[in-house]
Every structure is written in structure tokens, then in C-alpha cells.
Amino acid sequence: MIQVKTLPCGARLVTEKLPEFRSASIGIWVGAGAVKEASDRKGISHFIEHMCFKGTEKRNFLQLAKEADDLGAALNAFTDKEATCYHIKALTDVFPQAVDILLDMVCFSKNDAAEIRKEKRVVTEEIAMVEDTPDDIIVDILMEKVFRGTPLQYPVLGSRRTVRVITREDVLAYRKKWYTAGNIVVAAVGNFDDSALEEQLEAQLSMLPSKSPEIADYKPSEGCRYGYRTQDINQTHIAIGLPTVSMGSGEYYAQAIACDILGGSMSSRLFQNIREQKGLAYSVFSSTLSYAQDGMFMIYAGITPGKEVDAVTGIAGELAGLKRDGISKEETEIVKQRLKSGYIFSLESMNSRMYRLGRNLLLLDKVYSQEDTMAEIDAVTADQVNAFLDRICDIGKYSGVAISSKRIDMKRLMNG
């Protein structure tokens, strides 16, 4: 059973007890991501995530890592556009010790000035690594085009310039503003003592400031934009995208079905046409990114240089065909079964359950039971999917970017 409560300190706690398991997973979700950052300090949310591993008043960075390893625990963290999540998974009998490590990191990071200087070099190397990976960096480039004028346009890592100027004072001020009990959701899944966990969380999280400021809503970006980047690589990487629905939208699962049909599986239109029939790409797919206020539908292909026109023409043709012909009730039901299967498979992972509960409660202020999710998928009709496809199946509505060894004019390529 999923339970949600607000602790006296103001932090929200969502738990799902699974007594048949012998371990537990917990995530501390902080509402601090790229959308909360000042324009001249982009990347500070992710940088603070790094600093939480660099030592506290009780443990230095080696002790943090070694204590987690000695427990046999899996400790990690990630930052995205809207949140930072610190998480640990451990056996039930050592779970309280694992939680103590996690709370120490999040609440009492030392943020030593020397470690900050060192970690800025580490993060700039991480930025360089992403820039050397075209199928990673192309998503950041596309999002800058699709979400121009909104906080979602900025990359989570920031840039070399913005990371290099981060100071200890910046870190402390950002933590004071956003690392507050009222801006934290804790999600725990598995076999654990819930009463003991509540006491442990309250004792530590109550030492944080109580509230964070609200952020203003933003409007979805409008218009198509194009870009390219030249890089010494063997393939041409193309990505096109447009703004779509948010993660709490009533069209969320209609979009998921549309995405699966277009390019989300081996039997999808794009995979069969662009790869299997024409041999233009090894990797071609569609995907969605959903946030609290907005979302993006995107299509990606990695193709042989010189085949860009053929690939984009093929993608445009599949979009036009879906818009013209739509999908049948039978195909809708088949894809709904795939979605339900994927959802059930994800429930076999405690980390996946923790992620779903924590993110939904933090960003949507609600959680979905298994029955809720299955019912929402079952409720989608072919007419709803076709209405969604009708809106997105026109390549003229998409922004587009490319990474290649030569200049690619995406505007001309996409508009004939």
C-alpha cells in the first residue's frame, strides 16, 4: 500500500512497504534543478549534487563512499531539469545506517572551498565528455531550440563558463534557498521499519530551513528554430522536436501510444521504414520528455553522411502517413498492452518504484497506484491517439538540429 504524509518539519514522505523483499530503496528528492537557476549560474544544481559526495562534518569523501560500500549499499544521485535526487539501496538489516549516510550528505555537506575548486574541474570534464557524445549533446541542443525563452532551454550541467564562476558563497546561498524541508520529498520502497524511518528523517530534515520560494509559471515556447554543430565524427546525427504535453496531462498516455507507434519499438513505423526497409540508420526512434509544465516529442536518427535528405524525407513521410491514415482500434489496444507490460515490468525494480513515487509527488503533488496507472492506460481510445497524432504529424511544426562533420541546413532540409 502506498502512503503519503507530511512530517512535522514540512518534508513529504511517500512509502510503499514490500515485506516480501529483503532490502529497501530510498530517495531524497529536492526541488532544485536547471529551471531554478539564475542565468549566470547555470549548472549549480548539478554541481551541488557533486559536492554532497565530497564530505560532511562527520565523514570525508572517502568515508562516505567506504561506509556505503561496507554496508553493501548502492549509493548514487542525479540531477535533471526540475529536481535533484539522492538515493541509496540497502539490505533491510542495515537500512537505517544507509539512511544516515544519505541524510548526512544531503543535510550537512561541508562544501569545502578547496573541494569546490577541484570539483569544478571534474564537472568541466563531464561537460566535455557529453560534448564528445553526439547522441547525448544533440538533445541539449534541441531543447535549447524547442524551449527557447523558458527555463527548460538550459542544460542540466551548465556550461564551462557558468561552472567556472561558481563560488562557495553561491553554493551556500543556493542550498539555503532550495534545500529546505518544504521543498523535499522522501520516497521509500521495500522492507523497512516505517516508524523508525519517520523518526530518523524528522530528526535530520528538521535542521534544514523550512520553506523555499515559489517559482513563476512559464509559457510553452512557440515557433520553429534550427541549428547545427560541426564535429569530427563519422555519422550525421539529426534530432527534431516540438513542445507537447506535461507529465500531468490527460493526454500523457495518448502521447505514449503515439510515440510507440511512430518510433518506440522494433515494429514501429520509423524503425521498419528508415532502418529495416531503407537501411538508412542503425539508430532511429521517437521519444518523449515530460516535465511539470511542459513536454517535448522528439525524433532522432544517426545516419550516413550524404543520406540526410533521404532520412528526413522518410521521417516526414511517416509523419504524413500517420496523420492521413491514423491508427485503428486494434493497433491502439496492442500498444496499450505493450505499455501495461512495460509498466508492470518496471514494478519489479524497487528503484523504479521509488523514482515514480518521488518524482510524481514532488512535481505533481500526487501519486498513482498500480490500479490508477492501468486504468489511465486502458481509458485511452484510438480517437484520442489520432487527435494527438493529427497535431504532431507535420514536420513543418518541428524544430530541428544536426551534428555532422559538415554544415547541415536543417531549415532547408525540413522544409524542402
Active site residue 49: yes
pTM over 0.85: yes
Q: Is residue 64 pLDDT above 80, yes or no?
A: yes
pLDDT of residue 218: 80
What confidence tens digit (pLDDT) does each residue in 310-322 have? 999 999 999 999 9
Least confident of 125-129, 154-158, 208-212, 274-278: 208-212
Average pLDDT over residues 221-225: 87
Burial class of residue 101 (count of CB atoms within 10 Å of its CB; 0-12, 13-18, 19+): buried
pLDDT-based confidence at residue 283 (cuts at 50, 70, 90): very high
Amino acid in position 228: Y
Q: Is residue 94 pLDDT above 90, yes or no?
A: yes
- DSSP per-residue string spanning 63-80: HHHHHHHHTT-EEEEEE-
Q: Is residue 416 pLDDT above 80, yes or no?
A: no
Question: Packing angle between helix 350-364 and helix 329-346, nearest 10 degrees?
Answer: 110
- Catalytic choice (49, 82, 251, 318): 49
Q: What is the mean pLDDT of the chain?
A: 96
Residue 256 CA to residue 1 CA, distance in Å, equals: 26
Residue 373 CA to residue 243 CA, distance in Å, equals: 24
Task: Please state the domain extents for the chain.
Answer: 2-205, 226-415
pLDDT of residue 222: 82
Q: Is residue 181 pLDDT above 90, yes or no?
A: yes
Check for a shared fold between 2-205 and 226-415: yes
Q: Is residue 274 pLDDT above 90, yes or no?
A: yes
Average pLDDT over residues 328-332: 97
The CA–CA distances, whole Å, from 286 to 50, 131, 144, 240 equal: 31, 22, 18, 9
pLDDT of residue 221: 74
Nearest to 32 by CA among 216, 175, 187: 175
Domain 226-415 CATH class label: alpha beta
Average pLDDT over residues 204-213: 92
What confidence tens digit (pLDDT) does each residue in 339-377 have? 999 999 999 999 999 999 999 999 999 999 999 999 999
User: CATH topology for 2-205?
Assistant: Cytochrome Bc1 Complex; Chain A, domain 1 (3.30.830)
Nearest to 44 by CA among 167, 193, 142: 167
What confidence tens digit (pLDDT) does each residue in 244-269 have? 999 999 999 999 999 999 999 999 99
Residue 373 CA to residue 107 CA, distance in Å, equals: 34
| Percent of the chain with pLDDT strictly greater than 70 | 100
